[in-house]
């Protein structure tokens, strides 16, 4: 029945690589209202990160060069562009750039944005409530003193994670002084668990998938009045932490002399798991660039939870297991069977569409980047490459370009691959990845 109504469900069930164009994306700004999220919230989040910058610098010397601001570089990748065009017949016109959240300070993934932001927001609330800070103008390095740390040890922070969110929340929470418990799903990598334990984090391991780890984490946190649970599926704080990226991208694009307007469209491709990270970034991009930005998510064929939820309108009421998929994928962080309903609903007027890809391609794309640009990012982050590789090759995306009057503007377009993770991957695992052929 579902398949009759939504033919895409059959293609998803059969693990076909595909593109889905969102029929509900709209130019109408009124459609963005009603979620309790606005540009003012992004400004508020950015200001909070600025207040914490001296504290971050004090805890993480690696952030000194950037003044305690956690931000990644935007790198032109013409070598990769030539490689993709030559090898896959992609015909990518305009400029291809790599947004290296893979190399973000502290957590080495996009999760450094949302995860760290949420931990700091909670910390600010506790500090103000208990008089550790007198107000927003106070000196936040006070929070890095042994006395402050001793205060925070009475509180616990918990999170359910497939890996990278756990690293981000775990490392930052441990730096503040909290007791931290990270509830890990079965697919989480051993090295991530070990790294967290080195930071003094308690890692709980489950045989089950991500949704179950989240459930266990929430139950454990609810049982302790001094525990705070970071809810990856529903957190507006995480979402806003991710959205800040868009504001900062404006000056980075200016530095690269990249114009974004009606004659110079911007395409952004982001790997999607539960949806918080790509959703927050996409929301911010829409606020900043209006409809001149065209954002596409990319998911593995075995875990296309967001496209399944959005295309059927069922959002988080359907899982990939419901249509016979395993939800298992080599793409760490994208092995999510059920998308965030909150994010899916916010994306309805914003998202341009979604691509899916097979796991084997993750490794091919990873080698393409490494060989052409000498940049390493983790395989899941390479899911983004499917977007520009296929943009000119699917009839659906060609029709999208045509409908939006973009076909003759593509030589002035820019394409951003959002590289979501990689810096913390140990050398031996990198070698394994480089030698993996599926
Ligand atoms: C978490 C993650 C994503 C996707 O973020 P979601 O919020 O789960 O959608 C993408 N890439 C990497 C490397 C990640 O760790």
| Chain centroid offset of residue 139 CA | 31
List the one residue out of 310, 354, 388, 283 whose CA is nearest residue 33: 283
Kindly give the distance from the C-alpha atom of residue 333 to the centroid of ligand 1, in angstroms, as a whole number: 5
By most ligand atoms within 8 Å of CB, the mutation choice from 98, 103, 184, 420 for ligand 1 is 420
- What confidence score (pLDDT) does residue 211 get? 83
Distance in Å, CA 136 to ligand 1 centroid: 31
- State the burial class of residue 206 (Cβ atoms within 10 Å of its Cβ: 0-12, 13-18, 19+): middle
Which residues of the chain carry a pLDDT beneath 50?
A: none
Pairing of strands 414-419, 179-184: unpaired
Residue 63 has a pLDDT of 96
* 406: CB partners within 8 A, 6+ apart: 265, 294, 400, 413
- Which of 277, 297, 341 most suits a substitution to test ligand 1, by most atoms within 8 Å of the C-beta? 277
State the distance from the centre of ligand 1 to the C-alpha of 274, rounded, in angstroms.
Answer: 7
pLDDT digits (tens, 9 = 90+) for 321-367: 999 999 999 998 899 999 999 999 999 999 999 999 999 999 999 99
User: DSSP letters of 376-389?
Assistant: ---GGGGGGGHHHH
The predicted model scores a pTM of 0.97
Question: Which of 115, 169, 273, 343 is the pocket-test mutation for ligand 1 (most atoms within 8 Å of CB)?
Answer: 273
**Predicted pLDDT at 144:** 97
Q: Could you tell which of 100, 103, 111 is best to mutate to test the pocket of ligand 1, judged by most ligand atoms within 8 Å of the CB?
A: 111
Identify the pLDDT of residue 208.
82
Domain 110-236, what architecture?
3-Layer(aba) Sandwich (3.40)
* CB proximity list for 126: less than 8 A, separation 6 or greater: 132, 152, 155
Residue owning the nearest CA to atom 10 of ligand 1: 271
The tokens for 154 are: 């009475």
The CA 98 to ligand 1 mean position distance, Å, reads 16
Q: Which residues pair with 414 in a beta bridge?
A: 95, 266
Nearest to 211 by CA among 342, 381, 359, 339: 339
At 405 the three-state DSSP class reads coil
Extract the tokens encoding 302.
């075995």
Sign of CA dihedral 210, 211, 217, 220: negative
What pLDDT is stored for residue 368 in this prediction?
Answer: 98
- CATH 3.40.50.1100 spans which residues of the chain? 2-39+56-107+242-434, 110-236
**Which residues line ligand 1 at a C-beta cut-off of 6 Å?**
109-111, 164, 271-278, 333-334, 378, 380-381, 420-421
Q: Of all atoms in ligand 1, which is nearest to the CA of residue 164?
A: 15
Q: How far apart are CA 52 and CA 40, in angstroms?
A: 19
Name the CA dihedral angle for 32, 38, 39, 45, rounded to a multiple of 10 degrees.
-140
- What pLDDT is recorded for position 22? 98
Distance 133 CA to ligand 1 centre (A): 33
Burial of 431 (0-12, 13-18, 19+ CB in 10 A): exposed
Q: How far apart (Å, rounded) are the C-alpha atoms in residues 305 and 344?
A: 10
**Closest residue CA from atom 15 of ligand 1:** 333
Question: Which element (helix H / strand E) includes 13?
Answer: helix 8-13
Laid out side by side, the sheet with 202-205 consists of 202-205, 179-184, 156-161, 227-230
Output phi, psi for 227, to 5 deg: -110, 140
Domain 2-39+56-107+242-434 of CATH type 3.40.50.1100: yes
């Amino acid at each position: 029945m579902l398949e009759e109504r939504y033919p895409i469900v059959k293609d998803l069930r059969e693990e076909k690589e595909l593109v889905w164009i969102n029929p509900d994306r709209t130019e109408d700004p009124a459609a963005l209202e009603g979620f309790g999220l606005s540009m003012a919230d992004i400004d508020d989040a950015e200001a909070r990160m600025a207040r914490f910058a001296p504290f971050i610098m004090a805890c993480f010397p690696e952030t000194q060069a950037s003044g305690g601001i956690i931000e990644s570089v935007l790198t032109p990748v013409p070598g990769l562009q030539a490689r993709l065009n030559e090898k896959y017949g992609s015909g990518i016109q305009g400029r291809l750039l790599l947004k290296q959240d893979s190399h973000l300070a502290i957590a080495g993934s996009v999760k450094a944005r949302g995860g760290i932001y949420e931990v700091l927001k909670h910390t600010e609330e506790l500090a103000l409530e208990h008089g550790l800070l007198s107000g927003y103008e106070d000196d936040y390095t006070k929070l890095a003193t042994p006395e402050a740390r001793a205060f925070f040890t009475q509180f616990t922070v918990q999170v359910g994670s497939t890996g990278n969110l756990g690293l981000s929340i775990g490392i930052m929470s441990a730096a503040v002084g909290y007791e931290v418990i990270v509830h890990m799903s079965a697919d989480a990598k051993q090295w991530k668990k070990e790294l967290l334990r080195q930071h003094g984090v308690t890692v709980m391991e489950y045989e089950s998938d991500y949704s179950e780890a989240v459930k266990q984490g929430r139950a454990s946190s609810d049982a302790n009045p001094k525990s705070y649970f970071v809810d990856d599926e529903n957190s507006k704080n995480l979402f806003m932490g991710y959205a800040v990226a868009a504001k900062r991208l404006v000056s980075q694009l200016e530095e690269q002399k990249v114009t974004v307007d009606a004659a110079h469209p911007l395409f952004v491709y982001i790997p999607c798991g539960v949806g918080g990270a790509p959703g927050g970034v996409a929301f911010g991009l829409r606020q900043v660039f209006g409809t001149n930005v065209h954002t596409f998510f990319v998911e593995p064929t075995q875990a296309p939870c967001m496209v399944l939820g959005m295309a059927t309108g069922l959002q988080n009421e359907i899982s990939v297991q419901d249509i016979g998929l395993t939800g298992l994928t080599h793409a760490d962080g994208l092995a999510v069977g059920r998308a965030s309903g909150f994010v899916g609903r916010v994306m309805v007027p914003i998202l341009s569409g979604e691509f899916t890809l097979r796991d084997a391609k993750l490794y091919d794309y990873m080698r393409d980047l490494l060989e052409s640009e000498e940049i390493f990012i983790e395989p899941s982050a390479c899911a983004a490459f499917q977007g520009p590789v296929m943009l000119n090759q699917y009839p659906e995306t060609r029709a999208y370009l045509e409908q939006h009057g973009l076909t003759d503007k593509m030589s002035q377009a820019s394409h951003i691959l959002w590289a979501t993770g990689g810096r913390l991957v140990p050398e031996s695992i990198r070698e394994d990845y480089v030698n993996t052929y599926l």
